[in-house]
Amino acid sequence: MTQDTLNVDVVIIGAGPAGLMAGTWMAQTGVNTIIIDKKPYRTQFGHADGIESRTFEILDSFGLGENVWKIANRTIDLSIWNDRELGGIQREALLNNCNPGLSHFQEATLGQGEIEQNFLDFIESSNSVSVKWNTCPIDLMLCKASDHPVKLDIETRTSETEFIHSTICAKYLIGCDGARSWVRATLGLDLEGDRMNEHWGVVDSIPLTDFPDIRKRCIIKAKAGHLMIIPRERRLVRCYVQLSPEVATAFRTKVDPGILVNIIRSILSPYSFEASSVEWSTVYSVGQRLCTSLSKYSRVFLAGDAIHTHSPKAGQGMNVSIQDTYNLGWKLASVIKGKAKSMILRTYQDERLLVAMRLIAFDKRMVEVICRKDPDLSMKGRLPIKNSLKDTLREENTSASGLEVHYKPSCLISRTWESKTRRLASPMLPHSRSELAGNLAVGARFHDAQVLFQCDSRPCNLQHVLRSTGEWHLLVFGGDILCSAQMERVRRLGVELSQEGSLVNKPDPNHDDRVGRIGIYLIHCTPRKNVEIIGLPEIFRPFDETTGYDYWRVFADNEPYGEGLGDACRLYGIGTEGCMVLVRPDQHVAFIGALEDLSAIKLFLGNFMTGL
Amino acid sequence: MTQDTLNVDVVIIGAGPAGLMAGTWMAQTGVNTIIIDKKPYRTQFGHADGIESRTFEILDSFGLGENVWKIANRTIDLSIWNDRELGGIQREALLNNCNPGLSHFQEATLGQGEIEQNFLDFIESSNSVSVKWNTCPIDLMLCKASDHPVKLDIETRTSETEFIHSTICAKYLIGCDGARSWVRATLGLDLEGDRMNEHWGVVDSIPLTDFPDIRKRCIIKAKAGHLMIIPRERRLVRCYVQLSPEVATAFRTKVDPGILVNIIRSILSPYSFEASSVEWSTVYSVGQRLCTSLSKYSRVFLAGDAIHTHSPKAGQGMNVSIQDTYNLGWKLASVIKGKAKSMILRTYQDERLLVAMRLIAFDKRMVEVICRKDPDLSMKGRLPIKNSLKDTLREENTSASGLEVHYKPSCLISRTWESKTRRLASPMLPHSRSELAGNLAVGARFHDAQVLFQCDSRPCNLQHVLRSTGEWHLLVFGGDILCSAQMERVRRLGVELSQEGSLVNKPDPNHDDRVGRIGIYLIHCTPRKNVEIIGLPEIFRPFDETTGYDYWRVFADNEPYGEGLGDACRLYGIGTEGCMVLVRPDQHVAFIGALEDLSAIKLFLGNFMTGL
């Protein structure tokens, strides 16, 4: 029997958050892609529900952030409860569960299905990506010589008993098929690490309770057991409750959420607790396991739970999974479109393995501080909560939030002169002068700040300029251009950027494909009333015969409404002499140089980009 | 020939901003309504384009604000230009064109068609309101005795030569059919006032120009003529240019926007100006005219341009039109649903005529300061701009923005003890104790402020609580409830509110109709960590057997994240002893009383509400 064969650029196995994030990149960049999933439709209830601020930023860079932010539930308060000597429980501390300075988004909760729906809506509005439900992978072959080296046999269920077999030939495959990944197994890889002996039950319900902190995130350590409360969208609340092996087995046999509700009630006693409208419940056993190979031949990639499994304690899983393929997607699109050499694909392994290792280590600490009963605490009663719990929770809202992921030097991240590890990058490649932006770190995600459009004083978040389109962003911090010497430096840079053979592709309004291009923006710190946009080099306000000048590439780092200076440059540690910051398509800082360092940037980009 | 007859509650003639705002109220409250319009579809290009902050607040109260805000263009800067002695023009001043303290929205611009589309989307998602295009009114009869006293014959065009006639029988009619209103003429009413002899041309285009302020709102008074520039959504810019009667006639004959572009170019000289993609152009003559009768028998109402025509100089028209029917809609719905006596309909005339008169007077001043050449200015060259222009512009951003519309005492607005005009309200009705909220004015729109949800510390704008649903809002400012005497006052109020026969309709989750109900909210100013929501009277956290407690009716007037107090109470001038503020369904303050004044509120409401 001959089988249908479909040629695509990318095949993605698994339409969960990691797979759909990868699909979203492919939809955004117009890369011909198919996503298969054995499920008949997206996640309806339950599963992951924590969204970190970095994930919101990523969604926002595709225009999906506000929608999700609007329906998600912000968990601002974190309440710690423990035993009372006379029985019952008492509130021990009420902490902030957020870190407002780090992002314009904050941690929030929303069922995984809603996130998936937002990705699916985005994907469906494109014409390059399709999703095939009810479809399993059957066989995978890699023939290195071919232009489409990935050959994947699949089986699509069309009814209870009928299946259709077909073959997908692809340039690349991304395995986002979860903790029991078929792709990982087929590649002969495995998760390493231990299964621990902790069992937890999960219930999503609308609670009927007089427990006063039910709309706050809670960690409750009572004699009757340990409980975590996660308030959610609508009136839902998720409860995680620690179970004995016997109770876990009982639940798995009966699948009766009443078993979990009874334990929750006894932990919360003397407060009342009933679960109305139980939407989802399950039992899981905690284990932290890791696959240290994230790709094979840079043709097959693994992402998400396929490479890291852990407890849901800190709501990290969906975030790191989305961030995995957010890292991979633009690299694949750039290579597929011939804009970058395939060497950049190797950075996926280096950049994301370190994140996965940190995730596993962090989750171990988190489980430790939440599950273990502290002996001091139970003996002395009203002790302040242990520093280890506080520290771990603080870590969750900073480095573990994804905001402080810091990629190491590679072909895509320049080394800095201060850098002590000179192993990864070639010594011939230019170095960043990171002292010019003392508070920006090369390799870290570009921190958001508000500036004003020079043309009309509207406020603009710089991160909104860094949309995820596959384009790189060259932010020219011009400094104080009222100073004529400084203006002369900006002018000279403008001339260099405008020259034939410059790294800037001339804007072409009929050509929407921005993959591999470099967008140029000027941010100055002169009071905006003293700057005439038309007096600036034309590269910063390019002219088009149909649409006129592009007025939206020049920003004043000023206070809105007033005359005073803004605080973007102060935030970034950039002085009046300015600098250039080159930002990758995934918002990570790749290079920092002086206004005269255009040739260094060209050398850096020329190493991996084609046609420069 | 027998004609089809349709019975509806409300017929609206004209599907422009005023008519669609009325339709939006009817859709929101589920009132059976038909809107007819002679056009085949909504406005596509041009026409009104200014949106004041109050209009954004109104759109937002139906959930439409953010959509429109996102695509609208904020006009933050206002640039004044005049002649240069040596020829050409020069910038004389750069002013702020906004007033950030007054609203969380600001003035912005967007083509009228987009606003209409947002209303239409809202209306289409309801099942009580339909829009019939290509349809003109033919004959109107009023038979007072009938339950449906309005009998309207209409004609619907089905092809170039074919028409269908039918009859609509309605309880109420709203004439939103513009400056040449058929409804107004049929009622035998007319606009009063003079046509002035000023002619202006309007062009919406994408300009190709090196004029540096093209993305700012500009007023340019040059020897070659007067020009106003209004930057718009996308890359559009609107130009208003003053014309001689001869040029106005020439344009009307040829309908050639090139005539207008030539004059704009000569005014802007020595800057270049070309219009790419002219989207719309027209010529109008300025006139300020007013119809002083806004309704007939409280059965037929006029709104929008049908009662006030004026120049578009200050971008007021669409705003006042929307605000007209925003005032009328909830009153009609309340009467139609039997929740209020029809006497409340008379307040439409009283409340909106004063606004219309103020609008006409303001527009006269605006035209005066913009059109007239100031002799001092042209003689002395670089004089500061005249105070009259500055003052008028400042007025535009305060009282003229709709934010400071202040309705006089009536059955729907209580008198205050300070009030000197005792004519309108009955002396038997209770008075407001406005000194308890020194910065709130009875009759004015309730100013927005941020508070925090007690249950989870999420920030919430109080104006978002006051959604337009037809429900009244009783905001109980509980003061410092850590003080036991104060808590006792709140408790006693809770008991009174909970009693059988209280003015509060018990919440009924199966009954979505909120018209004529009173929603109760508690805002306290105690640090939120010291308050347990479960310890508060249940009326402020009502319990439902399916959905549990309603946790979203209690707010802490606190700073986010910190322990400090918030500034809502300070903003409203409310002290630690608290007060009650009763807010109408259109967000205007109706009554201010002490926590003991529930019987006064009941008396006030009982005067016009049924079933209290």
How near does any CA of chain B get to the CA of A138, in Å? Answer: 45
Question: Which of A130, A124, A116, A125 minimizes the C-alpha distance to A59?
Answer: A116
| Nearest CA among A266, A270, A272 for reference residue A210 | A272
pLDDT tens figures, B166-214: 999 999 999 999 999 999 999 999 988 877 677 889 999 999 999 999 9
Substitution target in A456, A528, A534, A552 with the highest count of B β-carbons within 10 Å is A456
B98 contact residues in A (CB cutoff 8 A): 561
Can you point out the beta strands (E) in B446-588?
Answer: 450-453, 459-461, 472-479, 518-524, 543-544, 548-549, 554-556, 579-583
Q: What one-letter code names the amino acid at B275?
A: A
Nearest residue of A to residue B533, measured between CA atoms: A212
Chain-centroid distance of CA B479 in Å reads 31
Q: Alpha-carbon distance A250 to A240, whole Å?
A: 17
pLDDT at A500 over 80: no
Find chain A residues with C-beta within 8 A of B215's C-beta: 453, 455-456, 551
Q: Do B212 and A533 touch (CB under 8 A)?
A: yes
State which of A189-203, A336-350, B563-577 shows the largest mean pLDDT: A336-350
- The pLDDT score that the predictor gives to residue A484 is 94
- Two tokens, residue B210: 């090196």
Q: Best interface-test mutation with B: which of A91, A273, A458 has the largest number of B CBs within 10 A? A: A458
Selected residue with higher pLDDT from A215 and A373: A215
pLDDT over threshold 70, residue B445 = yes
Asked whether A339 and A516 are in contact (CB, 8 A), the reply is yes
Computed over every residue of chain B, the mean pLDDT equals 90
What is the tens place of the pLDDT at every residue in A165-209?
999 999 999 999 999 999 999 999 998 887 767 788 999 999 999
Question: Between the ranges A35-44, B95-104, B240-249, where is the mean pLDDT highest?
Answer: A35-44
The mean pLDDT of A124-136, rounded to a whole number, is 96
Return the sign of the alpha-carbon dihedral for residues A52, A53, A58, A61. Answer: positive
- Give dist(CA A273, CA B559) in Å, integer: 31
pLDDT tens-digit readout, B476-507: 999 999 999 999 999 999 999 998 777 775 54
Q: How confident is the model at residue A422 (pLDDT cuts 50, 70, 90)?
A: very low
B509 touching A (Cβ < 8 Å): no
Chain A residue nearest residue B216, CA to CA = A456
Rounded distance between C-alpha atoms, residue A107 and residue A397, angstroms: 8
pLDDT at position B387: 60
Kindly report whether the peptide bond that precedes residue B270 is cis, defined as omega within 30 degrees of 0.
yes
Check A456 against B231: CB less than 8 A apart: yes
Residue B561 has pLDDT above 60, yes or no: yes
Long-range contacts of B83-87 (CB under 8 A, 24+ apart): B83/B221, B83/B222, B83/B223, B83/B378, B83/B381, B84/B381, B85/B381, B87/B270
Say what angle helices B317-336 and B17-29 make with each other, to 10 degrees: 30
pTM for the model: 0.91
pLDDT in tens, B54-85: 999 999 999 999 999 999 999 999 999 999 88
Tell me if B263 sits within 8 A of B243, measured CB to CB.
Answer: yes
Q: Classify strands A50-51 and A33-36 as parallel, antiparallel or unpaired.
A: unpaired
How many other CB atoms sit within 10 Å of the CB of residue A207?
Answer: 25
Question: What is the rounded CA–CA span in Å between residue A277 and residue A272?
Answer: 16
> What's phi and psi for A51, nearest 5 deg?
-125, 115
CB contacts, 8 Å: B456 with chain A: 73-77, 215-216, 231
Q: Whole-number mean pLDDT of chain A? A: 90
Minimum-distance CB partner of A547 among B66, B209, B235: B235
Furthest C-alpha separation in chain A: 81
Q: Which residue, B554, B356, B364, is CA-closest to B454? A: B554
Cα distance between residue A12 and residue A90, in whole Å? 48
B94 and A532 within 8 Å at the Cβ level: the answer is no
Residue-wise pLDDT for A521-574, tens only, equals 999 999 999 999 999 999 999 999 999 999 999 999 998 876 678 899 999 999
**Cα separation, B468 vs B470, whole angstroms:** 6
B403 close to B580: Cβ distance less than 8 angstroms: no
Q: Is the pLDDT of residue A400 over 70?
A: no
**Interchain contact B369–A (C-beta under 8 A):** no
Burial label for B63, CB within 10 Å (0-12, 13-18, 19+), is: middle
B268 touches chain A (CB under 8 A): no
The SS3 call for residue A404 is coil
Chain B residues near residue A72 by CB distance under 8 angstroms: none
DSSP, collapsed to helix, strand or coil, labels residue B484 as: helix
Number of Cβ within a 10 Å radius of residue A3: 11
* pLDDT at residue A508, rounded to an integer: 53
d(CA A406, CA A410): 12
- B207 in contact with A, Cβ within 8 Å: yes
Angstrom distance (rounded) from CA B527 to CA B54: 32
Contact call for A456 and B75, based on CB within 8 A: yes
Provide the residue type at B120 as one letter: L
Supply the DSSP string of B42-65, one letter for each residue: S--S-S--EE-HHHHHHHHTTT-H
Question: How far, in Å, are A34, A238, B47, B219 from residue B202 at the CA level?
Answer: 50, 58, 9, 14
Q: Which residues of A touch B206 (CB under 8 A)?
A: 546-548
Predicted complex ipTM = 0.88
Which pLDDT belongs to residue A398?
A: 64
Residue of B nearest to A536 (CA): B212
Q: Which residue has the tokens 């990864």?
A: A424
Q: What are phi and psi of A123, to 5 degrees?
A: -65, -40
* Contact status, residue B299 vs residue B172, Cβ threshold 8 Å: yes
Question: Which residues pair with residue B609 across a beta bridge?
Answer: B340
**Contact across the interface for B76 and A210, Cβ inside 8 Å:** no
B453 touching A (Cβ < 8 Å): yes
Taking an 8 Å cut-off on Cβ atoms, the answer to whether B94 and A529 are in contact is yes
Residue B76 and residue A215: Cβ atoms within 8 Å? no
pLDDT at B376 over 50: no
pLDDT digits (tens, 9 = 90+) for B359-369: 888 888 887 77
Residue B86: which pLDDT band, with cuts at 50, 70 and 90?
A: confident
Distance CA B263, CA B42 (A): 31
Interface of B with A in 50-79 (CB under 8 A): 66, 73-77
φ, ψ of residue A299 in degrees (nearest 5) = -115, -35
**What are the Cα distances from residue B334, in Å, to A557, B64, B516?**
51, 22, 6
Q: Which residue of A has its CA nearest to B213?
A: A455
Q: Please check whether residue A547 touches B, CB under 8 A.
A: yes
Contact A455 B215 (CB under 8 A): yes
The one-character DSSP state at B587 is: S
- Identify which of B98, B206, B455 has the shortest CB distance to residue A215: B455
Which among B209, B276, B458 has CB closest to A74? Answer: B458
Strand partners, B126: none
Least confident of A392-396, A440-444, B473-477: A392-396
Q: Does A96 touch chain B (CB under 8 A)?
A: yes
Phi then psi for residue A220, to 5 deg, are: -120, 120
DSSP summary character for residue B187: T
Q: Give A231's contacts in chain B (Cβ within 8 Å).
A: 456
Q: How far apart are CA A219 and CA A227, in angstroms?
A: 6
DSSP lists the bridge partners of residue A38 as none
A546 touches chain B (CB under 8 A): yes
Whether a cis peptide bond, with omega within 30° of 0, leads into A270 is yes
Minimum CA–CA partner of A528 in chain B: B94
Give percent helix, percent strand, percent coil of chain B, each to the nearest 5: 30, 30, 40
Q: What are the residues whose beta carbons fall under 8 Å from the beta carbon of B121, sequence distance 6 or more?
A: none
Q: Whole-angstrom Cα distance, residue B153 to residue B175? A: 14
- Kindly compute the dihedral angle of the four CA atoms of residues B510, B516, B517, B520, in this order, to the nearest 10 degrees: 140
User: What are phi and psi for residue B245, nearest 5 degrees?
Assistant: -55, -35
Q: How confident is the model at residue A311 (pLDDT cuts 50, 70, 90)?
A: confident
* DSSP assignment letter at A373: P
